[in-house]
Structure 1
Amino acid sequence: MPNLTAFLSYVFVTTFTPGPNNIMAMTNGNQFGFKKALNFILGVTTGFAIIMLLCNYLNLLLFNLMPKVGVFMKLLGSSYIIYLAIKILKSNSDENDSPRDSMSTFLNGMLMQFINPKVILYGITVTSNFIIPYYKSNTTLFLFSIFLAFVGFLSTSCWALFGAVFQKFLSEYRKPFNIAMALLLIYSAISVLK
């Protein structure tokens, strides 16, 4: 049985700290409100659950391939994070922006997880240290994946809600806010490459 305190601490700290999902959720909540950002959040949650399932079942295989795949994933993930930073910098304050034309879509949220290095590395780490050594049944692995996705849902929802609650305040300072969020994403991209 894993150390429950260590497991939950790792899960909550890692999930709630700034990363591409949380920063994008906050930006979407700020630009479109929480209700419209929910599409993105549900996409993130779906993609997150799929990644957790894959990490549970393919953990040993990924560890064997990681030296070869790791560099490629870091470059791809960092490039995508920088792309998101540029999208945030270029976004305007047009209130008529349609969520379909924005970054706030279910598909964007889901697909982002497959090249989000933080989620992939998190999945590998949490499954290899806290799940696979102790649990092997399909039901248990599925339930852990759902639990981890639910924590991800809570995290992105909190960040989106923060963006939505402070929407009026942040709309006055949209440009500095977007610059700060873009810089956080660029910092995330650089951190991945270290």
Structure 2
Amino acid sequence: MVNSPTLCTLRKQILPEAITSLITATALLLGSPGPATLGLAGIGATSGFKNGLPFLTGILTGLIVVILGTALGLASLFEAFPSVRITVQIIGALYILYVAVKIATAPHQSTAASSAPPRFIDGFILNLLNPKAYAALLGLFSQFLLPTPSVPMAFLSTAVICFTVAVVVDTLWLALGGAIRPCLQQPVQARMIRVVFAVLMVVAVLWAFVQ
């Protein structure tokens, strides 16, 4: 039988590698192009980093709910009852389409002071109904759960790291859009970039359906 000190030593040796793997996997899964990240980039490009912060905050708040739901077995429920998962996917796809249209049709800010980018509630609902988020978190919790002494601590520490990485990558997507905004001062160019990001959001949704 392996004694307790040996187990503690093994955990200390394995934990840094497990954390590195978790961070890498989270960045790839949650930071890859999808409805939320593309929406952030589109808003940053057309409305600016500061004006996109409410949408970013909504997305991250929605992600907290997704993390809690996944940890409590909501994602497993989707796997056990495909009809529930399909229903949420359809509702989510329709809402993402609504946000995409809102981004694509927003007036150019230099000519329309009343232009309003998607709000906190838009980001919150978008990520709450984003099938990619549930699938990604289910994979992370099932494959990269940190080897801590207790199961609750494993889920808590894994969730904290996942959320922290999401904050970084989502902020970078918004900043990326904000960085290219000065290149889009002309209304026609701004319209084109909005439409491109909106189309990419729709493509990302369609891609999730065929997986």
When the two structures are superposed, what TM-score results if normalisation uses the length of structure 1? Answer: 0.84
Higher relative contact order (CA 8 A, sep 6+): 1
Q: Which runs of 5+ in 2 are unaligned?
A: 1-13
1:151 matched residue in structure 2:
165
Which AA in structure 2 matches 1:116? N
1:175 paired to 2:191: yes
Cα–Cα, structure 1 residues 147 and 8, in superposed 2: closer, same or farther, change >3 Å? closer
Q: How many percent of aligned residue pairs carry the same amino acid?
A: 21
Cα contact 2:35–2:204 (8 A) shared by 1? yes
Q: Count matched residues.
A: 191
1:22 paired to 2:76: no
Shift of residue 9, structure 1, vs aligned partner: 3.0
Cα–Cα, structure 1 residues 97 and 124, in superposed 2: closer, same or farther, change >3 Å? farther
1:68 matched residue in structure 2:
83
Q: Which runs of 5+ in 1 are unaligned?
A: none
Cα displacement string for residues 43-84 of structure 1 (whole angstroms, at most 9, x for unaligned residues): 211221221122012157425534222221222222222222
1:189 paired to 2:208: no
Give 3-state SS (helix, strand or coil) of 1:86's partner.
Answer: helix
Cα–Cα, structure 1 residues 140 and 133, in superposed 2: closer, same or farther, change >3 Å? closer
Give 3-state SS (helix, strand or coil) of 1:94's partner.
Answer: coil
Q: 1:165 aligns with which of 163, 179, 182?
A: 179
CA RMSD in angstroms comes to 2.5
1:7 paired to 2:22: yes
When the two structures are superposed, what TM-score results if normalisation uses the length of structure 2? Answer: 0.78
Cα contact 1:49–1:146 (8 A) shared by 2? no
